[in-house]
Structure 1
Amino acid sequence: MSLKDKTIAIIGTGAMGSAACRGLLKAKAVEAGQIIATDIHREKVDALVQELGIRSASSNVEAARQADIVMLCVKPYLIHDVVEEIAGVVTPQKLIISIAAGVPISRIEDLLPPRTPVIRAMPNTCAIVGAGAAAYARGRYATEEHAAAAHEIFTSFGEAVEVEEHLLNAVTAISGSGPAYAYLMIEALSDGGVRAGLPRDIATFLAAQTMLGAAKMVLETGMHPAQLKDMVTTPAGTTIAALVVMERAGVRSALIEAVAAAIERANELS
């Protein structure tokens, strides 16, 4: 299912919905006229129409009626009502993509006509700057062609992988919540720099750029993080002195336990 001749309805134009609009256009995956946006806050849609030249619809139903692919970018507590609302105009020829955290594919499938293809995805807020990390899972009726369409959408504003649905809560704990872990580490490193006398803006820049560079090293070299860590850690040097403190403080185990806690909470919400 190539996106070139498909109309995409984006229901919900908050952070993720607007990121999808911008990403699809920046990647030239679709033309502006192929995107139809709706939101309960009309001013958000109007701003995107003005900025990007996309289309808007008078209602979710009208957007879904015109679309080949419907992206549900609404909060989890709204998903039931929105799916029920559009179900009357959905057919098995349309692909439904939901990014509602914790809402199983089966719950969405049960509200739609039989054999409607559904894909559930978990992107993250880094999509706002085109550096998102997303994972998606297919429902019972979603084919490889549907998965390819979802992949093209999510890679327009970051990177994406396909997983089994039962793993999506683990994805939520790592990449969905992960930006917050990274921000905490950047903030702490910045505080350390300020304590040592660096101006706040310089300390924050150096911490953030270092995290960005370290991530690129992992992704682009393909080396294990432990190998890359050893490349920085000279005998009796400053890095090993710092790492000893971090190990003594339990930083590694705290991150592992944080992921486990996030998974547990995601399971409770599902």
Structure 2
Amino acid sequence: MTQRIAILGAGVMGETLLSAILASGHPVDQVVISEKRADRAAELRAAHGVDVADNAEAVAGADIVLLVVKPQDVPALLDEIAGSVSPAATVVSLAAGIRTDTMRAALPDGVAVVRAMPNTPALVGEGMFGVSPGPGVTDQQLAAVVSLLESGGRVAVVDESLQDAVTAVSGSGPAYVFYLAEAMIAGGVAQGLDLDTARTLAAQTLVGAAKLLSESPDTAEELRRRVTSPNGTTHAAITTFDDRGVKDGLVAGVVAAAARSAELSGPA
């Protein structure tokens, strides 16, 4: 049976998930998104043909509720929907740092809760979602959430204790890739390439390398070795990176991101 989906939050990520869910073939009459601004609601109806409602109306009768708002807005949102959400519903938070016990405390008994960390490549259908079910979530409920989020990319199910690591690797990870791209483009321009050509070379190289890493059974280390001939051009670059502490700096950055994620989540 087709499940009714409520998306609370019509920002960039909310609309991205809406588009992905509809593109996956989910019936439009079984999806509702919340938006208080009349002009934005009209945009959503025109663009997607979807029902737009306020938060309490949206969750009434919904099987899966996606919370796609800023972390600081989640507590008030949970209070707002607590009286309308079905006890049989699954509520999924995509807001960074919102623990499942926070959701469970605010919602009626029986409501299943799931914590998810998305990332921005979901905008192009290549997102990565780290998903953690709360206590009591059934295999069927978890599978429904995973299937729904897979419309926007790939999903990894992890214990909630690992969500800070997920945040550090994939949640913040696109920024690391863009940071690398900035450096590659700047290096190309310094060697005489025009900006557009340098950007194209860097972007396609990153796309191709990511696809190769995703589809190859080999480790990232092995794939790097295959490109790094002794005393060749790549060897010169990698040696320089090592001399400058690039790899150590990136690892330290991931550790720092995980620590900050834990701070923002508050005490367990």
In structure 2, the partner of 1:240 is 235
CA–CA distance in structure 2, aligned partners of residues 249 and 45 of structure 1: 51
Show the counterpart of 1:92: 87
Q: Distance in 2 between the 1:146 and 1:18 partners?
A: 23
Q: Percent identity?
A: 39
SS in 2 for 1:110: helix
Letter in 2 for 1:23: A
Where does the alignment leave 5 or more consecutive residues of structure 1 unmatched?
none
In structure 1, what is the Cα distance between the partners aligned to 2:148 and 2:13?
Answer: 12
Matching residue's letter, 1:194? V
Q: How far does residue 39 in structure 1 lie from its aligned partner after superposition?
A: 2.4
Pick from 114, 123, 135: which aligns with 1:119? 114
Structure 1 stretch 86-95 or stretch 75-84: which is displaced more?
Answer: 86-95
Q: Deviations over 1:217-250 (max 9, x none)?
A: 1111121011111111112210001100001111
Q: Runs of at least 4 residues of structure 1 off by over 4 A?
A: none
In the other structure, the counterpart of 2:193 is: 198
Where does residue 158 of structure 1 map in the other structure? Answer: 153
**Does the CA contact (< 8 Å) of 1:12 and 1:40 recur in 2?**
no
> Unaligned stretches of 5+ in structure 2?
none
Offset of 1:40 from its aligned partner? Answer: 3.7
Calculate the TM-score normalised by the size of structure 1. 0.95
- RMSD over equivalenced CA pairs, Å: 1.1
Structure 2 counterpart of 1:178, which letter? Answer: G
Task: State yes or no: 1:23 paired with 2:20.
Answer: yes
1:51-91 deviations in Å (ceiling 9; x for gaps): 1111111x100001131111110111000000100100123
Paired residue type of 1:252: K
Deviation at 1:144? 0.8
* Aligned with 2:51 (options 40, 51, 55): 55
Give the alignment partner of residue 137 of structure 2, picking from 142, 146, 155.
142
TM-score scaled to structure 2, two decimals? Answer: 0.96
Give the aligned partner of residue 41 of structure 2.
45
Q: Aligned pair count?
A: 265
Aligned partner of 2:253 in structure 1 is 258
Q: Secondary structure at the match of 2:106?
A: coil
1:43 Cα shift? 3.0
Q: Is the 8 A contact 1:9 1:69 kept in 2?
A: yes
Instruction: Specify which of 164, 168, 173 is matched with residue 163 of structure 2.
Output: 168
| Residues in 1 aligned to 2:21 and 2:81: alpha-carbon distance in whole angstroms | 23
Q: How far has the Cα of 1:141 moved from its partner? A: 2.3
- State the distance in 2 between where 1:167 and 1:157 align: 21
